[in-house]
Amino acid sequence: MKSARLPRFIFSPAASLPVAILLILARLFRSLIGQFWPVLILLLLRRRSANSSQMWVWVGIGITIISVVRSLLTYFRTRFYVQNNEFILEKGGFTRRRLSVPLENIQTITFQQTFLHRIFNVVSVEIDTSGAKGSEISINALDREKAGELREYLLSWKKENPSSAAAQEKTPTVKTPEDTLLQLDFGDLLRIGLSQNHLRSAGILFGVLASFAREIQPILGKSTYKYLEEEWGLTFNFFWTFALWIGVFFLAGFRCGYHDPHGGTLLQFALRAHG
Amino acid sequence: MLFENQQIATAALPSVETVQFQTLPPQALKLRTIGWCITQGFIFLVLIGVMLFGEVFKQKWPWIIVFGIWGLQAIYFFWMARRRFYREGYAVREKDIIHTKGYWLRTQLTVPYNRVQHVEIEQGPLARAFGLGGISVYTAGDSGGDLSISGIEYAEAERIKQFIAQKVGNDE
């Protein structure tokens, strides 16, 4: 072996963060909805008879119970540690998986926070190798400090073991927290949006949504719209749909620019890990 | 230095040494049969449910055809599981690992160890009862072409993983 054996390094989220259960559940539901949304829309739109709607309630309850059980299992079975220069992640709900990545293959370490994560001050950590398109390792909810600790550990390992030329090239330089690599103001974001065609996607989405709103009007019935108009002062027209999407985009923008005690945004983490 | 790029006569290449493939343990076939039972049972239950509550056909006879088709595909997949099982094999060599499988379409996938990015061992709840498991080897390419053997002994998967890890660590 080319490097000194480092002490076994164990994190077990199960011991510390019950919040993770909630987040795992949230992710599970998100992916379920992501996969079955056409079915859900069909169910919502079709004319319901008392008999079948009761059946769907039971199906819903069943899915919920299975999801909760799976989340609990995932939560109690997730643990990760570094052993023999390998990062090992044990995971899995019903099927147990054990992933091992050689430390020298690790390329980027990304922290992400959704709205839910921010409420509980946890991060989801994604560790990428140069392999497949998605992230190989993703840990759903980790205490902010522990995540930082893990990152420092992995980065320092990389520093101590510049084993091959390639690895040396990739060895990231850890900046001091005050050192901002890159700062983007709103004008920059808008320009990036323009150049990345995000605005075009937004336009397409907006068009789809507007036409969808018009399509579902006869299904929801005039009364729904009237209710919204009278009670909330909302008119479901062009203008409001557009405003909604502008709002969504502002939120998305904020998400990119969240601040970390270690100093930096998501983009900076990526840049830093790349070196 | 002059750039040379001569053509190789592929027919004249020395033939590869014959690889002795290891077959899967017989429990794996049992496991697959159980899997087949679960899948087919699920389809059957859904069909029954649709027949009783769905009100799809007015008459009875279309259901005979539907269940006939169900029976045929069940038998076909039962038979295929066996054929596939006997054709599947793997070989762990000094520099690469080979996995061969398939009945109609036979594939033989070879992954050299120096291309391995990470290794994953998995074990489902049923496989645990049989002491079986699976191993997946991920390479630096597309996520589609990765080698994945399921239905070997768990201890064997562990051993192969250990071996690959040591190889990846050494050959830099």
pLDDT > 80? residue A250: no
| pLDDT tens readout for residues B95-133 | 889 999 888 888 888 888 888 888 889 998 889 999 999
**Looking at the domain assignment, is residue A78 inside a domain?**
yes
For residue B36, what pLDDT is reported? 94
**Looking at the domain assignment, is residue A76 inside a domain?**
yes
- Residue of A2, A98, A105, A135 to mutate, interface with B, max B Cβ within 10 Å: A98
- Chain B touched by A100 (CB under 8 Å): yes
Between chain A and chain B, the number of residue pairs with CB atoms below 8 A apart is 70
pLDDT > 60? residue A16: no
pLDDT > 50? residue B152: yes
**Looking at the domain assignment, is residue A53 inside a domain?**
yes
**Looking at the domain assignment, is residue A179 inside a domain?**
no
A193 shares its domain with A79: no
A165 shares its domain with A200: no
| pLDDT tens readout for residues A51-104 | 666 777 787 888 888 887 877 777 777 778 887 778 888 877 778 888 888 888
pLDDT > 90? residue A237: no
Nearest alpha-carbon partner for A6 in A236, A165, A161: A161
When pLDDT is cut at 50, 70 and 90, the band that residue B20 belongs to is confident
pLDDT > 60? residue A231: no
For residue A14, what pLDDT is reported? 45
Domain boundary among A133, A148, A174: A174
**Looking at the domain assignment, is residue A64 inside a domain?**
yes
Q: Do A102 and B169 touch (CB under 8 A)?
A: yes
- Chain B touched by A46 (CB under 8 Å): no
For residue A70, what pLDDT is reported? 79
For residue B155, what pLDDT is reported? 93
A153 shares its domain with A49: yes
When comparing pLDDT for B138 and A255, which is higher? B138
- Residue of B53, B118, B154, B163 to mutate, interface with A, max A Cβ within 10 Å: B118
When pLDDT is cut at 50, 70 and 90, the band that residue A203 belongs to is confident
For residue A154, what pLDDT is reported? 81
- Residue of A95, A130, A168 to mutate, interface with B, max B Cβ within 10 Å: A95
A122 shares its domain with A216: no
The residue-averaged pLDDT of A167-176 equals 44
The strand pair at A86-91 and A79-83 is best described as antiparallel
A87 shares its domain with A60: yes
For residue B30, what pLDDT is reported? 92
When pLDDT is cut at 50, 70 and 90, the band that residue A24 belongs to is confident
B165 contact residues in A (CB cutoff 8 A): 84, 86, 100, 102
**Looking at the domain assignment, is residue A4 inside a domain?**
no
Q: Do A96 and B168 touch (CB under 8 A)?
A: no
- Chain A touched by B40 (CB under 8 Å): no
Helix and strand numbers (H, E) in chain A are: 11, 7
In angstroms, the separation between the Cα of residue B78 and the nearest Cα of chain A is: 24
Query: What residue of A is the nearest CA neighbor of B120?
Result: A99
Residue pair A270/A108 in contact (Cβ under 8 Å)? The answer is yes
CA distances to A119, A128, A256, B138 from A163, rounded to whole Å, are 40, 19, 34, 22
* Cα distance between residue A35 and residue A154, in whole Å: 35
Nearest alpha-carbon partner for A253 in A185, A177, A204: A185
Q: Which of B119, B123, B143 sits opposite A133 (nearest CB)?
A: B143
Mean pLDDT, chain A, integer:
66
Q: What is the CATH number of the domain that holds A31?
A: 2.30.29.30
B124 contact residues in A (CB cutoff 8 A): 94-96
For residue B142, what pLDDT is reported? 60
**Looking at the domain assignment, is residue A151 inside a domain?**
yes
Lowest mean pLDDT: which of B86-100, B103-117, B140-154? B140-154
A119 shares its domain with A231: no
A114 shares its domain with A43: yes
CB proximity list for A15: less than 8 A, separation 6 or greater: none
A151 shares its domain with A38: yes
When comparing pLDDT for A228 and B105, which is higher? B105
Q: Do B118 and A130 touch (CB under 8 A)?
A: no
A160 shares its domain with A216: no
A32 shares its domain with A130: yes
For residue A8, what pLDDT is reported? 45
Q: Hey, which residues 128-167 in chain B have their CB within 8 Å of chain A?
A: 128, 138-143, 146, 161, 165
CB proximity list for B106: less than 8 A, separation 6 or greater: B87, B100
| Count of C-beta atoms within a 10 Å radius of residue A15 | 9
In angstroms, the separation between the Cα of residue B166 and the nearest Cα of chain A is: 9
How many domains does chain A contain in total?
2
Q: Do A136 and B117 touch (CB under 8 A)?
A: yes
For residue B29, what pLDDT is reported? 93
For residue B27, what pLDDT is reported? 92
Q: Which domain holds residue A209?
A: 186-256
**Looking at the domain assignment, is residue A268 inside a domain?**
no
For residue A247, what pLDDT is reported? 66
Domain boundary among A124, A139, A174: A174
pLDDT winner (highest mean) among A66-70, A219-223, B58-62, B118-122:
B118-122
| Percentage of residues in chain A having pLDDT higher than 70 | 47
* Cα distance between residue A23 and residue A29, in whole Å: 10
In angstroms, the separation between the Cα of residue A242 and the nearest Cα of chain B is: 38
| pLDDT tens readout for residues A130-171 | 765 666 677 777 777 778 888 888 888 777 776 544 444 444
The pair of structure tokens assigned to B52 is 């009783």
When comparing pLDDT for A32 and B107, which is higher? B107
For residue A29, what pLDDT is reported? 77
Residue pair B147/B136 in contact (Cβ under 8 Å)? The answer is yes
For residue A2, what pLDDT is reported? 37
Q: Do A95 and B123 touch (CB under 8 A)?
A: yes
For residue A258, what pLDDT is reported? 40
Q: Packing angle between helix B61-87 and helix B26-53, nearest 10 degrees?
A: 170
When comparing pLDDT for A193 and A62, which is higher? A62
In angstroms, the separation between the Cα of residue A13 and the nearest Cα of chain B is: 20
pLDDT > 90? residue A222: no
- Residue of A77, A80, A82, A86 to mutate, interface with B, max B Cβ within 10 Å: A86
A166 shares its domain with A200: no
Domain boundary among A174, A207, A230: A174
